Amino acid sequence: MPKRNSHERLSKRLQKYLTRLNELKFEVDKRQCLSGRDVVPPKKKVLPECIVRFCELDFEGRQLVEAALIARLKAYAPYSKFKVGAAFRSKAGDIFTGCNIENVAFTPSCCAERTALVKAVSEEHTTFTGGAVVAYHPDAFITPCGVCRQFILEFAKKDIPIYVASAPEHDDALPMIEDEHKVLITSIYNLMPRSFSSFE
Ligand SMILES: O=c1ccn([C@H]2C[C@H](O)[C@@H](CO)O2)c(=O)[nH]1
Ligand SMILES: [Zn+2]
């Protein structure tokens, strides 16, 4: 299938350019900072963001998205009816999943991302190499809320990829995600630029 191969080559080249662009941006930021034009020294390397088809993800990325899709089926969302699933891979290689859990008083609700991380951290897994978030939306990527971004950041020693994909509209759909389905690969530093990280 020559068409698909050339598409894959192009997307690989694009990812390479984006990585280089980020490196250059990092260098520019550093120089601006040294010349006193920026108050906050950028210390972090940020992963490039891109949108790919599900079948173009590596095995680990596909596994995270699939785990999040399965976790979403357990969502307890009687108020918003908006079901979310999340999955995070710990440094040891274990996948922890979670769904959103709502409450009649609304405020005590827990997002899928935090459910997954709370499960993991309570079992002594405190460093993660990647995560996935899924919810159904016909034409937008649903990214983690602000609280979850801060929560994820707490357990990321460096930038980690966050895969964002749409879940199927109906829970009984099979397969749960098609090969051609678009996946946003963002990262926690992209989602949380210039974050608060320390008061020391
Ligand atoms: O990234 C997100 C965004 C929203 N929600 C949940 C919170 C609430 O239960 C429902 C509607 O906001 O979706 C998540 O779990 N994760
Ligand atoms: Zn959240």
Determine the pLDDT at residue 29. Answer: 75
- Ligand nearest to C-alpha 108: 1
Residue 199: inside a domain: no
Mean pLDDT value across residues 77-103:
98
Residue 19: inside a domain: yes
Determine the pLDDT at residue 82. Answer: 98
Determine the pLDDT at residue 64. Answer: 98
| 48-64 pLDDT tens trace | 999 999 999 999 999 99
Mean pLDDT value across residues 81-107:
98
Residue 98: inside a domain: yes
Q: 183 and 91, same structural domain?
A: yes
Residue 99 has pLDDT above 70, yes or no: yes
Q: 31 and 59, same structural domain?
A: no
Q: 177 and 122, same structural domain?
A: yes
DSSP 51: E
Quote the percentage of the chain above a pLDDT of 70.
Answer: 94
Q: To test ligand 1's pocket by mutation, which of 73, 79, 84, 148 has the most ligand atoms within 8 angstroms of CB?
A: 84
**Cβ contact 172:69 at 8 Å:** no
Determine the pLDDT at residue 37. Answer: 61
The mean pLDDT of the chain is: 92
CA 124 to chain centre: 21
Q: 159 and 80, same structural domain?
A: yes
Q: Is 180 a catalytic residue?
A: no
Residue 54's nearest CA partner among 146, 191, 167 is 167
Residue 110 CA to ligand 2 centre (angstroms): 7
Q: 51 and 35, same structural domain?
A: no
| 16-42 pLDDT tens trace | 999 899 889 888 877 877 776 655 555
Mean pLDDT value across residues 158-175:
96
Residue 198: inside a domain: no
Ligand 1 atom closest to Cα of 112? 15
Residue 196: inside a domain: no
- Ligand nearest to C-alpha 148: 2
Residue 1: inside a domain: yes
Residue 197: inside a domain: no
Residue 2 has pLDDT above 70, yes or no: no
Q: 112 and 37, same structural domain?
A: no
Cis peptide before 175 (omega within 30 of 0): yes
Query: Ligand 1: does its nearest atom lie under 6 Å from the Cβ of 84?
Result: yes
Q: 64 and 34, same structural domain?
A: no
* Number of structural domains found in the chain: 2
The encoded tokens of residue 183 equal 């996946």
Residue 200: inside a domain: no
Determine the pLDDT at residue 42. Answer: 55
Q: 80 and 10, same structural domain?
A: no
Q: 77 and 142, same structural domain?
A: yes
Residue 84's nearest CA partner among 164, 175, 162 is 164
Q: What is the ipTM of this complex?
A: 0.99
| Segments in 35-75 forming alpha helices (H) | 59-72
Which structural domain, as residue segments, surrounds residue 25?
1-43
Mean pLDDT value across residues 71-77:
98
Selecting among 113, 154, 169, 178, the annotated active-site residue is 113
Determine the pLDDT at residue 12. Answer: 85
Q: 109 and 27, same structural domain?
A: no
